[in-house]
Structure 1
Amino acid sequence: MNALNTRQPLATHGLLSLVIPCHNEESVIESTHDRLLQVLTKIGMRFEIIYIDDGSRDDTLARLEHIAAHDDRAHVIALARNFGQQSAMSAGLAHSHGDAVVIIDADLQDPPEVIEEMVRLWRSGIDVAYGRRRSRDGETRFKLITASLFHRLFARLVPHPIPIDTGDFKLIDRAVVDAVCALPEKRRYLRSLVSWTGFRHEPVWYDRQARTAGVTKYNVRRLLMLAADALLISSDAPVRLTWVASLTLGVIGLIAAGKACLFPVDSVSISLAALVAVVGLLGSMQTAAVAIVGEYVVRTYREAQGRPAWVVRRAMNGSRRQGSTGDARAA
């Protein structure tokens, strides 16, 4: 039986889960819930909305508790501290029960109305319907250029196919969710992991909107850290590129040394200067290589420690899988 025939009965009787990581979103979270209800009611499936409070320091958690108290379809997972967006999303996936799961941010920059098209694709047999940004309103030219460059560079360096111009906004079939949750690593980059699992992917094009309330949680420093984290988690390319660069500089150094020995004296000073420059660059490259390898070693050590990716302080309003620690495989 193909996926289309299997999912036809789920069109109305299946369960759709929404996973929404939240961090300091008090100014928008109630509007987000109201808008989600409008969209989900039109889709016609049973649904649950799982909010993960990732250690918010404002009134986000209190407002989520208020929402859950008045809507038994809303579930709130309060993490013990800020574990980061990737861990918050992983916690939401581990606590979800739906036949399909949608991940969407709480800030309404990704329009919830797109979910309807994602569900349509899922019903037709697609396993992952991911949002692909046609435009990004309200963002600086610097952010647009750097994001575009990162997505394209990341797609070339990762050993498995990964779509560009995407974020975490996507619908994932239960089989994909279970496959991701079964993976043993604690430090995750979900955009890469979902693509790594394979299955059938299809884009849903949309225009990303500007923030109507609140502020972005990602400054330049955090964006750089996220980019480095994503690359180190998903690929061994940094080590390979360092090796290639070191080899290239070594060859240039040999050429400069040979020229200094074989050509007349008047060119020796130029060749020696080039040789000194290459030696300096090679030394810097070696230091960078040691740092990169050290980073991989530290990450291996942290994985070996076996600490959970998140810790749940409390779960409210009927989250039936209530665990205190973040092992997605056990949830």
Structure 2
Amino acid sequence: MISIVTPVYNEEGNVVYFHDEVTKVMKELAMDYEIIYVNDGSRDRTDELIHQLADRDPHVRALTFARNFGHQIAITCGMDFAKGDAVITMDGDMQHPPALIPKLIEKWQEGYDIVQTIRTATEDAGFLKKITSSGYYAVINSISTTRVVPGGSDFRLMDRKALNTFLKFREHSRFIRGIVGGLGFRQTSIEFEAPARHAGVSKFSMKKMIHFAMDGIITNSTIPLRISFYIGLLSAFAGFLLILHVLYCVITGQAVPGWATMTILISIFGSLNLMCLGILGEYIGHVFEETRNRPLYWLSDDSAAHEDNPYYKTHSNGNPR
């Protein structure tokens, strides 16, 4: 069985067309399937339309958030409720082509646990967006221990055992591409060119994209905190050199009265402040890692997780809700 998880937000112009296209593809595959729509607090007719689809199509499940929680949370919600042996996540604006679904399933049947799509280009993407996107991936991969594939999208297939592991990651600030990239398992990718939206405009405003980018950096690396400590050390070294210069000026009689004292004090306390902030940053980084409450480990063979495991006694199916 295949579960297709689709978050929707103000997609009244797309959702019915998207549903028809996905249904055509799944009927040709002759596989059991379900389509889970997660309404992320839409303010148009999206909620009404997905419930109409659920009423007339037994393959459809419609979930509605009480308010807008965000794209990444909506994807996670759909995964929580998915029953399939494999789960495909994709957006409902037709920029994730349903025609690629058979290729994803084919790779899964070859034995891959995660099949990631790589967006090589987007028809309606501007020059600025392309440049900022490539720059962002370069930055995040330079500071993160988990590689995030440039052009990677949230259009992917995950086998049930990989999904069960993913669902143990319950942090609120979510960057799913980073989490999936660090899961391991057998992964492969498929490249595609994203078409223009079928209808409407992108719901990712500049503000949302910046927040999403920051979540990706903060949830994947504590290096920005560590950088503050290194800056403190460099400042301390620069302060020491400045103090030597000040003493030289005093000895040679070039210093204005009071200038040497103030300069030395500022150098000492400024360096100490930056070093202390860096040390505090290290502790905050460790606290941050612990409060995410990620699993200490996971097994590549999900069948090895049985009732003798205390984690699975606490969570009956291995998936904390």
Query: Shorter chain as normaliser: what TM range?
Result: 0.7 to 0.9
- 2:164 aligned residue (178, 195, 216): 178
Post-superposition offset of 1:284: 9.7
- 2:58 aligned residue (68, 72, 87): 72
Distance of 1:275 and 1:226 partners within structure 2: 43
List per-residue Cα deviations over 1:24-55 (Å, max 9, x = no partner): 11111111111111222233321110000011
Contact kept? 2:108, 2:114, Cα under 8 Å:
yes
SS of 2:5 mapped into structure 1: strand
Deviates more, 1:88-97 or 1:243-252: 243-252
Q: Give 5+ residue unaligned stretches, structure 1.
A: 1-14, 305-327
**Pairing 1:1-331 to 2, within 5 Å after superposition:** 15-262=1-248, 329-331=319-321
Distance of 1:262 and 1:49 partners within structure 2: 76
Post-superposition offset of 1:219: 1.7
Contact kept? 1:18, 1:50, Cα under 8 Å:
yes
Greater C-alpha Rg: 2
Distance of 1:48 and 1:158 partners within structure 2: 35
Paired AA for residue 230 in structure 1: G
Structure 1 residues 119 and 54, CA gap change in structure 2 (3 angstroms): same
- 2:302 aligns with none
Tell me how many residue pairs correspond in the alignment: 294
Paired AA for residue 319 in structure 2: R
Post-superposition offset of 1:206: 0.5
Distance of 2:265 and 2:196 partners within structure 1: 51
Q: Percent identity?
A: 25
Distance of 2:268 and 2:11 partners within structure 1: 51
Structure 1 residues 287 and 150, CA gap change in structure 2 (3 angstroms): farther
Contact kept? 1:131, 1:166, Cα under 8 Å:
yes
List per-residue Cα deviations over 1:287-321 (Å, max 9, x = no partner): 986997898699789879xxxxxxxxxxxxxxxxx
Structure 1 residues 130 and 281, CA gap change in structure 2 (3 angstroms): farther
Distance of 1:197 and 1:303 partners within structure 2: 16
Paired AA for residue 228 in structure 2: T
Contact kept? 2:233, 2:275, Cα under 8 Å:
no
Contact kept? 1:184, 1:329, Cα under 8 Å:
no
SS of 1:45 mapped into structure 2: coil
Contact kept? 2:222, 2:285, Cα under 8 Å:
no
- 1:313 aligns with none
Higher relative contact order (Cα pairs below 8 Å, separated by 6+ residues): 1
Structure 1 residues 278 and 51, CA gap change in structure 2 (3 angstroms): farther
Q: Give 5+ residue unaligned stretches, structure 2.
A: 294-317
